[in-house]
Amino acid sequence: MTVAEENREDAPGEGAGDPLELRDIVKYYEKPGQGRVLVLDEIDLVVEEGAFVSLLGPSGCGKTTLMNVVAGLVEPNAGTMRRGGRDVSPEDLSLGYIFQEPRLLDWKTVAGNLEFALEARDVPESEWDERIERYLSMVGLADEGDNYPSRLSGGMKQRVAIARALATEPEILLMDEPFSSLDEITARDLREELLDIWQREQKTVLFVTHDINEAAFLSDYIYMMSHGGEMFARREVGIDRPRNYDDPAIAQRETELYREFHEHVVK
Amino acid sequence: MSLLVLWYLGGVVAPESIPGVLATLDALVVVLTTPGPYGNMFYYHVWKTAEMLFVTLAVSMVLGTVVGVALGTNELLESAVSSWIYAWLAIPSLVIVFLSAVWIGFDARSGYFAVPAVITPFVALNMWEGARTLDPQLAEMAAFFDAGRYQTFTDVILPQLVPFLFASVRSALSIGWKITLLVEAFLVTRGVGFMFRRYFDQYDLTTMMSWLIIFVVLLVVIEYGILAPLHERVTAWRPDADGVRVTE
């Protein structure tokens, strides 16, 4: 892994280059009749600059909530987010979000959907055309700018969502099970392309998934979560890139990680 | 076409209650060519009715949309106000027309109060329903990208409400035109409603029928000339447009 160490010429925001650290994040909801439901139980998380980090766990373990804390969509009840020795809030970070669903505006063209994000993020209008062209070609949709999302396949819609997030040129990409509703063939293609983009553009990725194989193939390191918002392990994947889907080392790593989950849950 | 045949037969069998087709056409020609204050008489009265109808329609659409969206997006307001909407809907429109005449006077101003008072709750009810279908995931997406209130309203909320807006305009138009006629028949001395009363007083069914034809034609022209093409245009993005199939 050398990407993390490379210099970033256009590093935006203060503290860029330092890892993003979350400390003792707690989130609970008050539910009538059930009292307090704990979703995040004193979570510590370190997102290294330029790294591909996965949050892995079963459905309902709180991994999406944790990512929404980083995104600023969920306010934690306790805990701090720090970077370079300073407290930071989500507004200080340069973030892009790719949701589980594409969440496109169906009444706008593909290019119009990118424009929506550029306008919302106050990007000068003079830069729009160039950025739209650049990021649509990056996801292989250069010719679809004038098309409507409702005429695209599920995989193409998710590509548009990726282009929309990239177009705001964020430092950190947050991805919440972005390929889980796609068929496996489409998903594999997109995972490989995502790795290409991540390395070429030197992004940091925080990736939520319940798919152990996906996490092993994509990540530098993986945080493992179980029910009740407990984070119980951080594991390096430790397989050289570029990685190959058929590499037995990935299958091997998947088995080990699965065993660890199993033991932790049974214990 | 079959309706026209039925009408013709009715006119032959029961001429005292159903005016004949040909007689109505004659009356229509008379109405259309009789001179009046602005060019022809029919033009003046239809214009006055249309004026009241569309001004009040615009007012009701704005008010009803604001109230409806507020209700659909604010639970506190919804629980406090929703029962009042139903109570409002239960008041007979005739009572509202009479009350506005007593409160405001026997002139057009009462109409500009009474018509919105009747149709606004219909619009509000419709838009309330629409606001409840707003997609929270899109709202979250817009919030994440820091879209402002105005951009969120025009790019995210309004497009989702388009079908409800069109349904509202259509029902408000059809109810509004009936209330406008009531107002004109009871309170003022111009407009299509007044024409109906005048010829009703003279028991001139044929002329009443010709006025009815004029206004029905106008409403049909509005539907097919303005509303339908507009609806088609703003929903061009839908997958069924141009017979294009979704490639899923």
For the packed helices B75-90 and B108-132, what is the interaxial angle rounded to 10 degrees? 140
The domain that holds B122 is classified in CATH as 1.10.3720.10
Does A74 contact chain B (CB < 8 Å)?
A: no
Q: Phi and psi for B169 in degrees, rounded to 5?
A: -60, -45
For residue A4, the model assigns a pLDDT of: 43
For residues A257 and A178, membership in a common domain is answered with yes
| Inside any domain, residue A7 | no
User: How far apart are the C-alpha atoms of B24 and B41, rounded to whole Å?
Assistant: 17
Same domain, A249 and A261: yes
Number of structural domains found in chain B:
1
* A23 within domain boundaries: yes
Q: Which residues of A touch B146 (CB under 8 A)?
A: 120-121
Mean pLDDT of B31-60: 82
A131, A148, A169: which is the final residue of a domain? A169
Show the tokens assigned to A195.
Answer: 């790795």
Residue B66: which domain range?
20-231
* Average pLDDT across chain B, whole number: 86
pLDDT value, residue B20? 76
Can you give the residue range of the structural domain that contains A165? 106-169
Let me know if residue B115 belongs to a domain: yes
The DSSP secondary-structure symbol of A173 reads E
Q: Write down the pTM of the prediction.
A: 0.80
- Reported ipTM: 0.86
Q: How confident is the model at residue B12 (pLDDT cuts 50, 70, 90)?
A: confident
Domain match, A134 and A112 both: yes
Beta bridge mates, A78: A26
pLDDT given at position B39: 59
Provide, as residue numbers in chain B, all residues whose Cβ is less than 8 Å from the Cβ of A116.
Answer: 145, 147, 151, 155
Look at residue B205 in the predicted model and tell me its pLDDT. Answer: 86
pLDDT above 90 covers what percent of chain B?
A: 38
Q: Give the span between the Cα atoms of A77 and A26, in whole angstroms.
A: 6
Tell me the chain A residues in contact with residue B237 when contact means C-beta distances shorter than 8 Å.
Answer: 106-109, 148, 150
Mean pLDDT of B155-161: 92
| Phi, then psi, of A19 in degrees rounded to 5 | -70, 150
Which CATH number is A262's domain given?
Answer: 3.40.50.300
- Whether the CB of A97 is below 8 Å from some CB of chain B: the reply is yes
- Are residues A88 and A157 both part of a single domain? no
pLDDT band at B40 (very low <50, low <70, confident <90, very high): low
Residue B4 covered by a domain: no
Distance from CA of A222 to the nearest CA of B (A): 25
Domain-located, residue A242: yes
Q: Which residues of B51-69 are buried (b: 16+ CB within 10 A; e: fewer)?
A: ebbeebbebbbebbbebbb
Q: Residue B247: pLDDT band by 50, 70, 90 thresholds? A: very low
Question: Helices A110-120 and A154-167 sit at what angle, rounded to 10 degrees?
Answer: 30
Chain A residues with CB-CB distance to B244 below 8 A:
151
Per-residue pLDDT tens, chain A, 267 aa: give them.
Answer: 444 444 444 444 445 578 999 999 999 988 888 888 889 999 999 999 999 999 999 888 889 999 999 999 999 999 999 998 899 999 889 999 999 999 999 999 999 999 999 999 999 999 999 999 999 999 999 999 999 999 899 999 999 999 999 999 999 999 999 999 899 999 999 999 999 999 999 999 999 999 999 999 999 999 999 988 889 989 999 998 889 888 999 999 999 999 998 888 765
Phi first, then psi: give them for residue A107, nearest 5 degrees. -90, 0
Q: Does A181 touch chain B if contact means CB atoms closer than 8 Å?
A: no
Helix (H) or strand (E) holding B43: helix B41-73
Beta carbons within 10 angstroms of residue A76's beta carbon = 21
Beta strands in chain A (DSSP E): 20-31, 35-47, 52-56, 78-83, 86-87, 95-98, 172-176, 204-209, 221-226, 230-236
